[in-house]
Amino acid sequence: MDAKYSGLVDVLYQDEVLREEEKDSINSEVKSTDQNQKLLAVLGRKNKDQFDKFLVALNKTGQQHVRNHITGCQRQFFFAIVSLIFK
């Protein structure tokens, strides 16, 4: 997943998945891996509708392979794991 250069964070902000302070916090990370980790932590606290918007945002930013991987696994399982890891 590429949160840093793909525009994913901006799309999630525009789609009202991320609040401005969450967007700024994610973008403040220098390393791509840190941005991805912070984004996943924030997504772990979102509801199902917001998570679905995240999946759409992956498509919008050319990251269908990530979406396919997530939806190939059970979405609920992925969401539960992300929530547990980043609490």
pLDDT mean over 59-82: 75
pTM above 0.85, yes or no: no
What's the Cα-to-Cα distance from 68 to each of 26, 31, 63, 71, 82, rounded to whole Å? 24, 25, 9, 5, 17
What share of the chain in percent tops pLDDT 70? 83
Instruction: Report the alpha-carbon distance of residue 70 to residue 15 in Å, rounded.
Output: 20
- What is the number of other CB atoms lying within 10 angstroms of the CB of residue 20? 8
Instruction: Report the alpha-carbon distance of residue 10 to residue 23 in Å, rounded.
Output: 7
Local confidence band at 77 (pLDDT 50, 70, 90 cut-offs): low
Local confidence band at 69 (pLDDT 50, 70, 90 cut-offs): confident
Local confidence band at 66 (pLDDT 50, 70, 90 cut-offs): confident
Instruction: Name the residue with higher pLDDT: 4 or 57.
Output: 57
**Residue spans per domain, the chain:** 8-85
pLDDT mean over 4-11: 91
pLDDT mean over 18-46: 93
